[in-house]
Chains A and B, each alone.
Chain A
Amino acid sequence: MTGFWRGAGTQTRAAMLMLLALALAALVVPALAHTDPLAIGDALALRLLPPLSVDVTHHFHLLGTDSFGRDLFVRAMLAGRLSLAVGIAGSALAGAVGIAVGAIGGWAGGMLDRTAMAVGDVLLAIPRLVILLVCAALWPPGATMVITILVLTGWMGVARLVRGEVRGLRARPFVEGAHAMGASPARVLWRHVLPNALAPAIVAIALGVGSAVLLESGLSFLGLGIQPPQPSWGNMIADGREMIVLAPWIALAPGIALILTVLSCTLLGDALRDRLAGDELETMRARS
């Protein structure tokens, strides 16, 4: 990790710091805030304050207040807990399923492999959002449901990547060597093949966090994901939709936190990918 930091460009460092700051703020801000982000107080005095304003009780509102007088910054950070958790869990679990399917399929080959890849192709042929919508329509909404369908619709890319790597590694001399030394197939897969096959999967998972956060916000925006009063970035934006003409900051402020998160994930994923591509070039040069 320190090595990654030292080798990272300014852009990557900014992305890492931004994610860290957002995660910290999501944990700390709602706990330290002087107002309850869910409770409705003196709505008439506090409602619809624009960003950067000071209210009658001399409290500062960085992003303004909503139509119930709740502080939008505190609410956005509280929403960040759930949105980030769902995004990370969704992408990581989808990645884990993808690694398992890809590794076993690529290692075993045959019918198992072909079936798994065919199922993946079918799921890839439908736009992910459409499957998400159908599932969200049919099962009761909530965080668990969103994570489940993120996993069900998100494992195929990683599975394909890992399968390709595993198949490539199967014939390499060090794998043959491990077999010859008497290691069981499971041990060879686990100790020798998998560690060498994971790099592209890790990039895909990092990039996947951003798109998982985006998809969650989309479902919640449509009212099919996280349900109010529990705030998520998506349902906060939906909340502000009616007031867009009078108080546009209610809808737009939570979006800024969302965009910063997705942007940071994309930049980090890109940097990881460039780094891995660089490493591969290095090893290729070293070998030739």
Chain B
Amino acid sequence: MRSALRQLVVAIALFWVVLSLTFFLVRAAPGDPVAFLAPPAASAPELARLRAALDLDAPLPVQYARWARDVFEGNLGTSFVAHRSVTSVLGDAIPISLALGGISLLLTFVIGVAIGSVQGAHRGTRVDSALTVVTTTIYAAPSFWLALSLIALFTYGAARLDLPSWLRLPAFGVRDPAGDSGVVDLVRHAVLPVATLTLVGAAGIARYARTSVVELLRLQWVRTAVAKGVPARSVHARHVLANALPTLLILFALALPGVLAGSVFVETVFGWPGVGRLMVSSIFARDYPVVVGATVVYAALVILANLAADLALPLVDARRRT
């Protein structure tokens, strides 16, 4: 319990440091957001007024103090571009990213662990090496390239191969603007982005899962079980998988940043208005409050996932209970 509390405090401190770091990084950068935002013909007093309105005229420590107070009140500032609060801009984007990322993370995990387990259990066979080639190649491919390949397959390829119309999946956006906007349409739009994220993630997880299954199979009690004639199926179910739970938890925490990073590209390529795409478009628009806000969301997710894995480890691993 003591250590759980300690981990919580460390996580919160870490989160605050990340927040402050982003704040100072944004202000240390060259380039004046006021010059970027103001109309070219703006006069000096107009520029000064805009600077004051954006709270950029105060000394840096004062800005930091005001900003810190606002963050404590749940206020991340106002978007320079959308003229709405950053929290409401993020509030529109987060559910989309969470849905996309959540489904992909789940599939990534299930498929990745399944592939890795098959490989580990059949180590050194042809199946193992074939799957290694596939996962290593996909792991080496950038997510945006995989996304474009899938788009090419379902547009250029679909026309060449004469695929049936239900298989011609939409490659852009969340909804079909002209057609019906039912659940079926949404699911059809989600297939390619989810597939891209899952491919990238599962390939990475399978590589880790294979290694840990191989290590588990070398353990003495597993070898004892095999030696005393326990059938392979129950060795894998009872002895290997049960002991793999702690590793699986760590893998879950490891998979999250990958899916988040992938979602930046996947949302950009497929035109999903999630946090990743919001971040990229805010960067181009020099919309600093939104850039900071999106960074906060990503950092919070990663720190939370790591904290959850740390806290859950003693629950599934008796050796870590004290």
Chain A residues engaging chain B, CB cutoff 8 angstroms: 121-122, 125-130, 133-140, 210, 214, 217-218, 221-224, 234, 237, 240-241, 244-246, 248, 251-252, 255, 258-259, 262-263, 266-267
Contact = CB atoms under 8 A, between A and B. Distances in A.
B278 to A, nearest CB: 12
Contacts of B30: 138-140
A267 B284 CA distance: 36
Interface of B: 14, 17-18, 21-22, 25-26, 28-31, 136-137, 139-142, 144-145, 148-149, 151-152, 155-157, 257, 260-261, 264-265, 268-269, 279-280, 283-284, 286, 291, 294-295, 298-299, 302-303, 306
B302 A125 contact: yes
Given A125-B306, A129-B264, A136-B283, A263 B140 contact: yes
Contacts, number: 126
B144 A246 contact: no
Given A127-B299, A255-B148, 15 more contacts: A121-B14, A122-B21, A125-B299, A126-B18, A126-B299, A127-B261, A130-B299, A133-B283, A136-B283, A137-B286, A221-B144, A244-B152, A245-B156, A246-B156, A262-B141
A188 to B, nearest CB: 34
Given A222-B268, A252-B145, A244 B140 contact: no
B267 to A, nearest CB: 11
18 contacts: A126-B299, A127-B257, A127-B302, A130-B294, A130-B298, A134-B22, A134-B283, A136-B283, A137-B291, A138-B30, A217-B142, A221-B265, A224-B283, A245-B156, A248-B148, A248-B157, A251-B148, A263-B136
Contact of B148 (A136, A224, A237, A266): A237
A245 B155 contact: yes
Contacts of A133: 264, 279-280, 283
A244 B156 CA distance: 8
A134 B295 contact: yes
Given A134-B291, A241-B269, A127 B298 contact: yes
Q: Is the interface of B mostly helix, strand, loop or mixed?
A: helix
Nearest to A223: B284
Contacts of A262: 140-141
Contacts of B18: 122, 125-126
A262 B146 CA distance: 14
Given A134-B295, A266-B136, A122 B148 contact: no
Contacts of B142: 214, 217-218, 221, 234, 237, 255, 258
A268 to B, nearest CB: 12
Nearest to B301: A127
A141 to B, nearest CB: 11
A133 B294 CA distance: 11
A278 B136 CA distance: 22
Nearest to A211: B140
A125 B21 CA distance: 12
A135 B25 contact: yes
A234 B291 CA distance: 22
B274 to A, nearest CB: 14
Contact of B140 (A128, A135, A248, A266): A266
Contacts of B298: 126-127, 130
B155 A218 contact: no
A224 B144 CA distance: 15
B137 A139 contact: no
For the complex of A and B, 3 pairs with smallest distance between CB atoms: A138-B29, A248-B152, A137-B283
B86 to A, nearest CB: 15
Given A126-B299, A133-B279, A221-B265, A138 B155 contact: no
A228 to B, nearest CB: 16
B145 A258 contact: yes
B302 A259 contact: no
Nearest to B151: A244
B223 to A, nearest CB: 18
Contacts of A136: 283
A128 B295 CA distance: 11
Contacts of A130: 260-261, 279, 294-295, 298-299
A138 B21 CA distance: 14
A248 B157 CA distance: 9
A248 B151 CA distance: 9
